[in-house]
Amino acid sequence: MSMAGPPANLTANNIIYDSLTWNIEASGNVVVVQDQLILKTDKLIYNAISDTITVPGPLRIYDTVKKTETHATYGELSSDMRDGLLNSARIIQKRQLQIMAAKIKQDGGRYTIMNKAVTSYCKICKESSTPLWEIRSRKVIADNVQEKIIFEDAVFRLMGIPVLYTPY
């Protein structure tokens, strides 16, 4: 897709190129591999003019180096999948730390900004169980270079009970 870096590998059951809009629409078992990132979905639209990928439905992105798995209901991404916006997203890091957010924005590959986030620890995440601990925050900023996570307007909960409030 993007000609800036190494080419992406796109596979799908159906791939349609529209010469008027320059869009490539892929559907059915769509897999995009770009460097260490693997995107899986049922449908995506690549716009060559804006060099962006729109995923109108559920998607998963795996980072094979950082061992992170991201799930979302909708995505607008740069063609290298390092920048963009994800809705109703959940990030699982090394199958241990889980962050769920209403919106996730990737900024320059370095920062990941998550709004209305809930962070918790889990080995195998169960939807119905109350986590031992969780942090609910208005915003979470993950610095992927310094490997830091900043929580803004956060509440730390232990067994579902708020025990610590912090503005920053």
Res. 6: pLDDT tops 70:
no
Note the Cα 53 to chain centre separation in Å. Answer: 13
Dihedral sign for Cα atoms in the order 9, 14, 19, 22: negative
Q: What is the pLDDT of residue 4?
A: 47
Q: Please give the residue that has the higher pLDDT: either 8 or 151.
A: 151
Q: Please give the residue that has the higher pLDDT: either 39 or 92.
A: 39
Q: What is the pLDDT of residue 129?
A: 67
Res. 3: pLDDT tops 50:
no
Pair 140, 114: CB distance under 8 Å: yes
Nearest partner of 60 among 28, 35, 92, judged by Cα: 92
Read off the pLDDT of residues 96-141 as tens digits, 9 standing for 90 and up.
Answer: 788 889 999 987 778 889 999 988 876 545 555 667 788 889 889 8
Q: What is the pLDDT of residue 15?
A: 95
| Burial class of 105 by CB neighbour count within 10 A (0 to 12, 13 to 18, 19+) | middle
Average pLDDT over residues 12-21: 93
